[in-house]
């Protein structure tokens, strides 16, 4: 036995959840445009850091800031498209 006087119970298979939770609704257009605008401002700032680092001879920092700028633009675009 398992240290007590009752037998070990087999685990039962879980059934479907009673409450599936809130469904994901797309964001309103004004919110998507606002988030994309914030992403654009941040991408411009990253681009400025990349340009300044390039001129200053810091190639690694310039590449990393450039990648950050492109990634931020990408996410901003996805925010507009997918919601």
- In this structure, is residue 36 part of a structural domain? yes
Tell me the per-residue pLDDT of 35-79, one tens digit each, with 9 for 90 and over: 999 999 999 999 999 999 999 999 999 999 999 999 999 999 999
Total domain count for the chain?
1
CA distance linking residue 81 with residue 39, whole number of Å: 14
pLDDT value, residue 25: 83
CA distance linking residue 67 with residue 14, whole number of Å: 45
Residue 7 has pLDDT above 90, yes or no: no
- In this structure, is residue 21 part of a structural domain? no
Tell me the per-residue pLDDT of 64-75, one tens digit each, with 9 for 90 and over: 999 999 999 999
pTM (two decimals):
0.67
Q: Which residues span the domain enclosing 64?
A: 29-82
- In this structure, is residue 18 part of a structural domain? no
Sign of the CA dihedral with 19 first, then 24, 30, and 31 last = positive
Q: What is the mean pLDDT of residues 6-18?
A: 68
- In this structure, is residue 78 part of a structural domain? yes
């Amino acid at each position: 036995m398992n240290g007590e006087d009752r037998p070990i119970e087999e685990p039962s298979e879980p059934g479907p959840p009673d409450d599936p939770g809130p469904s994901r609704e797309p964001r309103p257009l004004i919110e998507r445009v606002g988030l994309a605008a914030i992403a654009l401002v941040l991408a411009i700032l990253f681009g400025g850091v990349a340009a300044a680092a390039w001129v200053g001879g810091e190639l690694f920092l310039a590449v990393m800031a450039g990648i950050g700028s492109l990634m931020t633009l990408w996410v901003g675009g996805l925010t507009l498209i997918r919601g």
